[in-house]
Structure 1
């Protein structure tokens, strides 16, 4: 999928991951555990949503990662 550049939804829409990573990061903060990794995921998925990728496969987050090189 990433190699081919085809991010059409097959199983895991990015839109679902956006909310899930937001909740995971919040739970980490609320629990007092190290939240750097969930916060990074939350940030990347939010940026992907803002870039218009919410209706693509979750792997489309790689587009944001490539743009931030």
Structure 2
């Protein structure tokens, strides 16, 4: 919201870009925390189970979200 307001108020471009990078940094941190939590809970549980299909699905999910993150 603040970035949009800054743009609408014709703030200096560099200031807007710095604010944007701050938001990106926060989102990356949130993603990292979510990934860690998921790996320690859901993923770990699936890998410890005997359900091979679920294991493959979990691995695919991790690979998919990692690929999206790295785009």
RCO (CA 8 Å, sep 6+): is it higher in 1 or 2? 1
Larger Rg: 2
Structure ranking higher in helix proportion: 2
TM-score, length-normalised on structure 2?
0.30
